[in-house]
Chain A
C-alpha cells in the first residue's frame, strides 16, 4: 500500500462544476503540499498545509490531521483547471516529500 493515496485517479467534469480531489496518507506528517502539473511538465505549488483550511481564489484545501486526510476543492471549474493534481506529504521529522500518484482532471467546456 502506498503511503499516499489519491482519489479519483481520473476525473472528467463539465465547466462550472464543483470538484473534489482526495488525498489519504498513512504516516505522521509535518506538512502536506498540493501541486498542479500541466501538460509539458511544469509543476506549480498550490498550497502547503499543516492544519485547517486554506483558500486561494477558486481553490480550497483542507486537512484533517486526526483522520490523515486532505481534500482539494475547485469551485466554478474552468477548462484551464485541466491538469494533474498531486498531493505530497512531508513525514514528521523527515524532510523528504512522498508523492501521491496524481489525479488527472479534465474540464469540458
Chain B
C-alpha cells in the first residue's frame, strides 16, 4: 500500500480553470504538507496542517486553498489557474510538526496551457 498517495498524477488544463489535487496518507501521521517544485527542481513549502489545523501558510496567492477534512487527507484547490502555476506539487506527511522525516507522495504534474 502506498503510504502517501496523491491524485491525479498528471493534470493538464486551460488558464482560468479551477482544479483540485487530492492527497491521502495511511501512516497515521498528524501533520501534512503541500510543496511546490518548479521547473528548476526547487522545492518550496506552501502549507502545513497539523490535526486538520493550518500551522504554516507561506506567501501563496489566495487562489490556492487547502482543505483538510480529517488528518489523513489534505486536498489542494486552485482557482483561476495561471501559466505560472505549472509545476509539480508534492504532498507529504510526518508524525508531528517538529518531526524531521517527511514522507512524500509521488507528485502531481500540473500543466496550465
Query: Do A and B interact with each other, yes or no?
Result: no
Chain A contacts to B: CB under 8 angstroms: none
Chain B interface residues toward A at CB < 8 A: none
